[in-house]
Amino acid sequence: MRYFMYDVTGGTVDEPDPKTMRRVLDGLAQADDEHPDVSLTHESGWCLSAFSGGLLVWENPDEDAMAPGEMRDVAREEVLRLFGLLAAGDVAAIEALPWQR
């Protein structure tokens, strides 16, 4: 499966391992108004974006019929777990979560 991450500066990391995902997520400490998030995107088009305040956004920009979902106050370890699920292509497990749309 192909997937990639954007770090807080907009740099791309191809197929990061869990340690690299953790490092990219740690970069949220340097988030600002111009670069407020990090994200992981799967080849299917599904994307998880994490923000420093605990906001997590789930979306597929290629799917106009599906509104983005949000969860607030998501713990860092849960974000990492969900990044791992998306990297493995387990879209169904992520979609089954209680997203606010």
Amino acid letter at 36? P
Name the DSSP class of 71.
E
Give the predicted TM-score (pTM) of the model: 0.94
18-45 pLDDT tens trace: 999 999 999 999 999 899 999 999 999 9
**Angle 95-14-101 (CA atoms, 0-180°, nearest 5)?**
20
Asked if pLDDT for residue 65 goes beyond 80, the answer is: no
Query: Phi-psi bin for 29: left (phi > 0), alpha (psi -120 to 50), beta?
Result: alpha
Give the pLDDT mean for 39-58. 96
Going 27 to 29 to 35 to 41, the CA torsion angle's sign is positive
Label the pairing between strands 3-6 and 12-14.
antiparallel
